[in-house]
Amino acid sequence: MRPIGAGGGRGGLAGFVFALLICCCACFLAGCERERVFQREGYVFGTRVDVALYTDDPRLADAAIAAVLREFDRLHGTYHAWKPSELTALNEALAQGRSREVSPELAEMLRHAQSLSETGGGLFDPAIGALVELWGFHTDTFEPARPDPAALVALKIARPRMSELVIEGRLVSSRNPAVRIDLGGYAKGYALDLAAAILRERGIQSALINVGGNIMALGSKGKQPWRVGIQHPRQPGVMATMPLYDGEAIGTSGDYQRYFELDGVRYSHILDPRTFEPAHDTQAMTVLVTPRPHVGALSDAASKPAYLAGNAWREQIRHFEIEHALRVAADGQVEVTRALRARLEFPEPVKVRVID
């Protein structure tokens, strides 16, 4: 078992974080006709990506993986949060009080993200891109410094929210010029959904797709389900392993990949739209979403409200009809829903609190 996709930050399409591990052995022997795992890694969205296919056709596997990685590259360039992209062009228009016609894809992404934001009570809010920039996370490298106090106060007064985005067909505008869209908490999951569609169209029935710790499973690895591991946010090695079944997706939000420390305090990239500060009550929050439409995007977005909700995380995931989740609280306490606890295997003893 080896680590993959430990998760990037919110750079562009980046995200977060719980290091997840594929339990598989890649075989690349030419001429072998038995089914095996073909695996390729890349670096997109400011994070590590990995596509593993289980098939007996090396040419099919190579072409399918290449198609997925090309799609990831396209998404990265099209929806980058601070380098010139369709998204930055939209943000420039919103800041000037103008409407802008966007691609059908972006319009649909914004509608779905807006719906998820409403379901999560506004705790998942892609409209706070200006806040992400103020905290120094709109860069590939960042310095340990708090935002300028005056700029932070001004943004708090403006209070940009996803609910202020107006989407009419492909025409997007905002009632608040402070709205600045950052899809870093949504697009990795969206990429999972697109990757799954590409693979199915090419006849791939078994795959494990990892985008910076956001993972989706298709089919199984032969007669066994795909299996992933969860790394503790403060300790090396695997804390727990579990099977991931056909059509399921995992998303994680955590404070241990993109963060800085200042005066002994850890400031992560996961910002609370209520306080305009990084959250401190949770180290990591993982949700497992069972098969449904947009399962990848949902797994990405739904971990944010639960992370920000602190001790009220269980109520938050109920809003999204999610029953499988695990939280590592700020004090290191591991909390897990009963449904997910039934799947987990712990290689070492871990004190776990089961939540109904």
Alpha carbon 323 to chain centroid distance?
A: 18
pLDDT at 141: 78
Structure tokens at 283: 């180290």
- Per-residue pLDDT of 141-191, as tens digits, reads 778 999 999 999 999 999 999 999 999 999 999 999 999 999 999 999 999
**For residues 283-289, average pLDDT:** 97
H/E stretch holding 168: strand 165-168
Structural domain count, the chain? 1
Residue 350 CA to residue 251 CA, distance in Å, equals 22
Note down the domain range covering 127: 1-356
Q: Model confidence at 33, in pLDDT bands (50, 70, 90)?
A: low
DSSP symbols for 31-48: T--S-EEEEEEEEETTEE
Given a cut of 70, is residue 322 above it in pLDDT?
A: yes
What would the pLDDT profile of 179-200 be if each residue is shown by its tens digit?
A: 999 999 999 999 999 999 999 9
Please report which confidence band the pLDDT of residue 235 belongs to, taking 50, 70 and 90 as the band edges. confident
Q: CATH number for the domain including 144?
A: 3.10.520.10
Q: Which two tokens stand for residue 286?
A: 């993982």
> Could you give the maximum distance between any two Cα atoms of the chain, in Å?
65
Q: What is the DSSP letter of 148?
A: P
Name the 3-class secondary structure at 208: strand
**Tokens coding 63:** 């072409």
Using only the alpha carbons of the chain, give its radius of gyration: 20
The model scores a pTM over 0.75:
yes
**Mean per-residue pLDDT for 209-231?**
94
Q: Is the pLDDT of residue 47 over 80?
A: yes
Mean pLDDT check: name the lowest of 44-58, 159-173, 302-316. Answer: 44-58
Q: Which residues contact 338 (CB under 8 A, 6 or more apart)?
A: 354, 355, 356
Rounded to whole angstroms, the Cα distance separating 208 from 200 reads 12
The pLDDT of residue 319 is above 70: yes
Sign of CA pseudo-dihedral 336, 339, 340, 346: positive
Helix axes 187-201, 58-78, angle to 10 degrees: 150
